[in-house]
Amino acid sequence: MAKKVAGTMKLQVPAGQANPSPPVGPALGQRGINIMEFCKAFNAKTQELEPGAPCPTIITYYQDKSFSMDIKTPPASYFLKKAAKPKSGANNPSREVVGSVTKKQLQEIAEAKMKDLNANDIDQAMKIILGSAKSMGIEVKG
C-alpha cells in the first residue's frame, strides 16, 4: 500500500551544510520530520555539488513521519553572479550594467541548469538564462 502524503514544503539549503539550526530545524520539527535524518541524507546527496551553493529542495513528508526530497540545481542567479562577479546589484537593471558574461559562460550555465529548465534544447535554455542575466543588469558579450 502506498504511503499517505501529509504535505510538501520547500526549503533553500546550502549544499553540504544542512544542520539542525534555524531555518532548517524549526521548519522540519514542526512537521514531525526527523531533523538529523534529513540533514545526513541531504548532506550525502549534495556532497558532489559546490559547498555552500544554495539548493532549492522540495520535501514531501508522509503520515508515518518519513520523507522524500527532490533537490534542484542552484538558481541561475547564483551561477550568473559567480561568472560575472558584480561588485553590487544593479539599482536599475534595464539601464545599468554591473557585469558581463560571455556566450560560452552562458552556455555552461544553461547546460548545468538544463534538467530544471522548461526547455527542449540548449538554445532555448540559453534564452532563459539570458533573460535572467538581463534582469540582473548583467550583459552578455559575444
Instruction: Tell me the fold of 76-141.
Output: Arc Repressor Mutant, subunit A (1.10.10)
For residue 140, what pLDDT is reported?
79
Percentage of the chain lying above the pLDDT 70 cut:
95
What is residue 63's DSSP assignment? T
Q: What is the pTM of this model?
A: 0.74
9: CB partners within 8 A, 6+ apart: 27, 31, 58, 59, 61
* pLDDT tens by residue, 75-127: 888 888 888 777 776 777 777 777 788 888 888 888 888 888 777 888 888 88
Superfamily (CATH) of domain 5-71: Ribosomal protein L11/L12, N-terminal domain (3.30.1550.10)
Mean pLDDT of 29-53: 84
Mean pLDDT of 12-39: 83
1 pLDDT band, cuts 50/70/90, is: low
Mean pLDDT of 40-64: 86
User: Per-domain residue ranges for the chain?
Assistant: 5-71, 76-141
Per the CB < 8 A criterion, the answer to whether 65 and 32 are in contact is yes
